[in-house]
Amino acid sequence: MDEFALIDSIKQQTYKQPSIIKGVGDDAAIFRQSAQDIVTAVDTFVEDVHFTRSTMDPFHIGYRSLAANISDLAAMGADPAFYLVSIVIPQSWNENELNGLYQGMRDMGNAYNMDLIGGDTVSGKVLTLSITVIGYVPRDKARYRSMAKPGDIVFVTGTFGDSAAGLFMLNHPDEYTDEAYFYRKHRMPAIHADFVSELEFLPRLALNDISDGIANEANELAEASHVSLTIYEDKLPVSTHFHQFTEDQQFKWKLFGGEDFELMGTVPASGWEDVKQMAASTQTQVTDIGYVESSGNSDHGAFLIGRNQIKKRLEKKGYTHLKQVKKNE
Contacts to its own copies from residues 220-249, by CB under 8 A = 224
* Shorter beta-carbon distance to its own copies: residue 45 or 242: 45
Q: Tell me whether residue 259 is annotated as binding.
A: yes
Phi-psi sector, 236: left (phi>0), alpha (psi -120 to 50), beta: beta
81 touching its own copies, by CB under 8 A:
no
* Shorter beta-carbon distance to its own copies: residue 165 or 206: 206
SS3 117: strand
Only one of the segments 56-64, 71-79, 105-113, 173-181 lies at the binding site for its own copies (rule: CB under 8 A); that segment is 71-79
Question: Of 96, 297, 308, 309, which lies in the binding site for its own copies, with binding defined by CB under 8 A?
Answer: 96
Between the CA of residue 14 and those of 38, 99, 131, 133, 222, what are the distances in Å?
Answer: 22, 18, 20, 19, 43
CA-CA-CA-CA dihedral for 289, 295, 298, 303, to nearest 10: -30
8 touching its own copies, by CB under 8 A:
no
Question: Of 15, 43, 233, 266, which lies in the binding site for its own copies, with binding defined by CB under 8 A?
Answer: 43
Residues between 188 and 227 with contacts to its own copies, criterion CB under 8 A: 207-209, 224
Q: Tell me whether residue 107 is annotated as binding.
A: no
Residues between 104 and 143 with contacts to its own copies, criterion CB under 8 A: 117-126, 128, 130, 132-135, 137, 139, 142
DSSP 325: P
Q: Tell me whether residue 145 is annotated as binding.
A: yes
**What are the backbone dihedrals phi and psi of residue 216, each rounded to the nearest 5 degrees, phi first?**
-65, -45
**DSSP string computed for 226-287:** TEEEEEEGGGS---GGGGGS-HHHHHHHHHH-----EEEEEE-GGGHHHHHHHHHHTT--EE
Strand partners for 231: 290, 304
Number of residues that bind its own copies (CB under 8 A): 85
Question: Of 8, 11, 94, 177, which lies in the binding site for its own copies, with binding defined by CB under 8 A?
Answer: 94
27 touching its own copies, by CB under 8 A:
yes
